[in-house]
Chains A and B, each alone.
Chain A
Amino acid sequence: MSDKINIPEHYERWDADVKVGKNDDKVAIGYWRDGCKGCGICVDLCPKKIWELIEAKDKWNGQVVRMTDASKCIKCMLCEIHCPDFCLKIY
């Protein structure tokens, strides 16, 4: 959809071929682990349940998230819009 993907180097990144409605598309998902507070809002909101909370001993509340299967993403943007900490980018 977009030709300009702007995910900084220090972000974790997942790329995949996806379907948005009936159409073939591509997704690039960026995640800034240092900024993430492990609140779990993305995990709760994702309709495809592809964000997962994992233990992180270095973090204040002991958890961060990871993407389990980017190919299931439908680019609804719910996670990106509602991450309170500016950690997610969906292209």
Chain B
Amino acid sequence: MAFEYEKYLRMDKIPHLWCPGCGIGIVLKAMLRSVENVGWDKNDISFVSGIGCTSRAPGYIDCNTLHTTHGRALSFATGVKLAKPDKNLVVFSGDGDATAIGGNHFIHACRRNIDMTLVVVNNNVYGMTGGQHSPTTPIGYKTNTTIYGNIDPTFDICLLAKAAGASYVARATVNKGRVLEKYITKGFQNKGFSVIVATANCHTQFGRKNKMSDPISSRKWIESREIPLEKARTMKAAELKDKVITGEFTTDEAETTFWENYNSPVHEYTEAYAKIIEKVQEK
């Protein structure tokens, strides 16, 4: 049966500003269904964000909302939670918001294991500001600030969250809205800091630079990189290069060596930089 999103939306603000086919809307819908799943009254929700395309989400939702400063959503949310511990805190961040400018707030929120749910919409780029690379832009991909291909190794947000102490960590893609809903619901139910990473498309900024400028081809790119955790466990580290592992990361104790293999350094930075100089000078 159809879900009545209108109940939670500020309908005078819809249609939202996101590009046609942007993944953020799909994540927001999964979040609203999760609210219904756990039965929260919308007056008991504080929905907080920083700055970015993702961070526009609270503007569309009819509950207590805070649109704060870039990277600092978790700090404001921590303040709200400490002042009003009975409120249910939900935070939406982009990959830049959560892991670049807000990276320190992020690990410390994990470390504190403060009871709130962070949904990171990871579209591998700074969408809002014109497509600069972010800490999750995969190696080799082009953005406005990595025009010869990115050489910065990526953060795996789930591993980072888990290592820093978040008590529920999961990842799903915007191709699987029902799975996103399941994980966000479990995040809401977890008493502690929950991180759900939604792997999403920004075809407008990231796709455009990498020969997938429409939503469908960007979504298919995401699909082609997805490996469920159970399957990933049976694969070699080399086969997992450039892949996105989806599933729940905190429900059982994963083998440490497995994660070390998966997350080992890709290259030494100065060598990679030298190679890029070489490549550019050849032109």
Whether, in the assembled complex, B211 has its beta carbon less than 8 Å from a beta carbon of chain A, the answer is no
Q: What residues of chain A lie closer than 8 Å to B14, measured between beta carbons? A: 35, 85-86
Once bound together, how far apart are the Cα atoms of A90 and B6, in whole Å?
Answer: 15
Indicate if the CB atoms of B16 and A6 lie closer than 8 Å. no
Complex partner residue of A84 from B6, B24, B216, CB under 8 angstroms: B24
Residue of B nearest to A45 (CB): B175
Residues A37 and B20 in contact in the complex (CB < 8 Å), given A81-B178, A85-B25, A86-B25: yes
Q: What residues of chain A lie closer than 8 Å to B29, measured between beta carbons? A: 81, 84, 86
Whether, in the assembled complex, B5 has its beta carbon less than 8 Å from a beta carbon of chain A, the answer is yes
Q: What residues of chain A lie closer than 8 Å to B214, measured between beta carbons? A: 40
Residue of B nearest to A44 (CB): B216
Sorting the interface of chain A by its residue count into under 10, 10 to 19, 20 to 34 or 35 or more gives 20 to 34
Q: Residue-by-residue, is B29-69 near A (CB-CB < 8 Å gives 1, otherwise 0)?
A: 10000000000000000000000000000000000000000
Residues A41 and B1 in contact in the complex (CB < 8 Å), given A81-B29, A84-B22, A84-B26: no
Q: What residues of chain A lie closer than 8 Å to B16, measured between beta carbons? A: 85
Whether, in the assembled complex, B249 has its beta carbon less than 8 Å from a beta carbon of chain A, the answer is no
Given A30-B2, A84-B23, A86-B9, output 17 extra A-B contacts at Cβ < 8 Å. A34-B15, A37-B15, A37-B20, A40-B21, A41-B219, A44-B216, A80-B2, A81-B26, A81-B29, A81-B177, A82-B175, A82-B177, A83-B25, A84-B18, A84-B26, A89-B2, A91-B1
A to B CB contacts below 8 Å, 26 in the list: A1-B1, A6-B4, A34-B15, A35-B14, A35-B15, A39-B21, A41-B219, A44-B219, A61-B20, A81-B29, A82-B174, A82-B175, A82-B177, A83-B25, A84-B18, A84-B22, A84-B23, A84-B26, A85-B20, A86-B5, A86-B6, A86-B25, A86-B29, A89-B2, A91-B1, A91-B2
